[in-house]
Amino acid sequence: MKILITGGAGFIGSNFIHYVIQKYPDYEIINLDKLTYAGNLENLKEIENNPNYHFIKGDICDRKLVTSIVENFKIQVIINFAAESHVDRSIMGADVFIQTNVVGTQTLLEVAREKKIEKFVQISTDEVYGSLDANGKFKEDTPLHPNSPYSASKASADLLALAYHHTFGTPVIITRCSNNYGPYQFPEKLIPLMIINALNNKPLPIYGDGRNIRDWIFVKDHCEAILTVLENGKIGEIYNIGAENEKTNIEIVKLILKELNKDESLITFVKDRPGHDKRYAIDANKIKTQLGWKPKHTFETALKATINWYLENKSWWNKIISGEYLKYYKKWYGER
Ligand code: NAD
Ligand code: TDX
């Protein structure tokens, strides 16, 4: 199998590449990544010399480049992880989100159509469904109601993917997963940000009252679900992915502090995120019953493993939390 993975130098993409290379050493993987602030080739250091792995620096919006990769490597499958992925950054400036998440996805779909790709997996998110109150869960047929520029751009990409399937028969499958955590996650997202701030004895900024709820899944379970969908998913279908693990943000932060033996006085309540979604919860029964996938990790053990990973990889994140990150951090949190 020859797979084009876009955004493979980011958090989930790099975890996915490690997972697939280990499981199927004979698969050929081509990683196309623009290396934005979120892309990091260190995530893939251990496999960079693997003869079945190829990295190409480039933009998914570059149709000529994508076409030449598909032709030269005889690509059969595209898995599109590439995206601008942080809600707060989409609030600070949405342009690049529309460019990469919407125009970029459409560019890939166009090449997939033209070159008759065998499968196109669009990695989407539960955020396209919007926000829940205390009851209910997102199902695949829950109406789309994205609330942030980020989620609106991801919902747009989903609609384009479905339209390409409907109109041209492009073999699209969409996955919509809940909040991920694990190794290599960029420390702008809740869990790594809180681990690193706690380790540096810096304030832990909690938006609003800390009672917003997210449904957490370990990244390796997400990767396994994506591979399951790639292998057994039905063309034209959407699959929700989640691990039935709802937690308030304040619960998460307290767990991290406890694990690191740090004082709760580090917790600082700050101005809320504008348009902050209250609750996400995934109903993953379709992938469980139809494709036989289920998560293997419990939150307690996988959170501990994640914290240990950040403890053991200080040089990885120390390099990140300077430069662009510092500018972003000062601007966003300075205003709260
Ligand atoms: P990330 O921000 O860590 O990584 C994104 C990667 O895409 C980076 O390597 C970046 O360099 C690359 N990229 C950005 N723009 C590009 C472009 N124009 N061309 C080529 N490469 C480009 O994101 P992530 O958290 O790994 O998320 C991966 C995918 O999964 C995204 O599509 C996201 O919407 C989705 N998702 C994420 C989560 C989560 O909790 N992180 C949950 C559900 C779905
Ligand atoms: O400093 C913070 N303080 C805080 O209270 C940060 C960064 C976050 N939060 C809150 C906001 C959310 O309620 O924590 C929760 C999680 O925030 P993020 O890590 O930014 O994730 P979220 O906004 O839920 O979106 C994530 O899940 C779905 C990913 O970033 C998306 O890429 C994915 O699609």
CA–centroid distance, residue 126 to ligand 1 (Å) = 14
Contact 38, 44 (CB under 8 A): no
Position 218 scores a pLDDT of 99
Q: What average pLDDT does this structure show over 316-335?
A: 96
Say what the pTM is.
Answer: 0.99
Grouping H, G, I as helix, E, B as strand and the rest as coil, residue 29 is: strand
**Is 282 domain-assigned?**
no
**Is 246 domain-assigned?**
no
**Is 230 domain-assigned?**
yes
Position 96 scores a pLDDT of 98
Find out whether the beta carbon of 176 lies less than 6 Å from any atom of ligand 2: no
Position 16 scores a pLDDT of 99
Which residue's alpha carbon is nearest to atom 17 within ligand 1? 59
Which residue's alpha carbon is nearest to atom 17 within ligand 2? 190
DSSP readout, 208-229?
A: TTS--EEEEEEHHHHHHHHHHH
**Is 297 domain-assigned?**
no
- What's the chain's average pLDDT? 98
- The rounded distance, in Å, linking the Cα atoms of 320 and 256 is 21
Find out whether the beta carbon of 151 lies less than 6 Å from any atom of ligand 2: no
Q: What average pLDDT does this structure show over 159-164?
A: 99
**Is 223 domain-assigned?**
yes
Indicate the pLDDT class of residue 324, thresholds 50, 70 and 90. very high
CA–centroid distance, residue 121 to ligand 2 (Å) = 24
CA–centroid distance, residue 213 to ligand 2 (Å) = 10
Position 157 scores a pLDDT of 99
Position 39 scores a pLDDT of 98
Provide the number of structural domains found in the chain.
1
Indicate the pLDDT class of residue 276, thresholds 50, 70 and 90. very high
Position 139 scores a pLDDT of 98
Residue ranges making up the domain that contains 107: 2-180+218-241
CATH number of the CATH domain containing 140: 3.40.50.720
Q: What average pLDDT does this structure show over 42-57?
A: 98
CA–centroid distance, residue 222 to ligand 2 (Å) = 17
Indicate the pLDDT class of residue 43, thresholds 50, 70 and 90. very high
Q: What percent of the chain has pLDDT over 90?
A: 99
Which residue's alpha carbon is nearest to atom 9 within ligand 2? 190
CA–centroid distance, residue 82 to ligand 1 (Å) = 5
Indicate the pLDDT class of residue 21, thresholds 50, 70 and 90. very high
Position 225 scores a pLDDT of 99
What confidence tens digit (pLDDT) does each residue in 183-240 have?
A: 999 999 999 999 999 999 999 999 999 999 999 999 999 999 999 999 999 999 999 9
Residues present in the chain in total? 336
Q: Which of 59, 127, 221, 277 is catalytic?
A: 127
Find out whether the beta carbon of 38 lies less than 6 Å from any atom of ligand 2: no
Find out whether the beta carbon of 206 lies less than 6 Å from any atom of ligand 2: yes
* Number of neighbours of residue 247 by Cβ within 10 angstroms: 16
**Is 93 domain-assigned?**
yes
The dihedral sign for the CA sequence 97, 98, 102, 104:
negative
**Is 168 domain-assigned?**
yes
Find out whether the beta carbon of 249 lies less than 6 Å from any atom of ligand 2: yes
**Is 331 domain-assigned?**
no
Query: Exposed, middle or buried: residue 32 (CB in 10 Å: 0-12, 13-18, 19+)?
Result: buried
Whether 184 is a known active-site residue: answer no
Indicate the pLDDT class of residue 102, thresholds 50, 70 and 90. very high
Find out whether the beta carbon of 61 lies less than 6 Å from any atom of ligand 1: yes
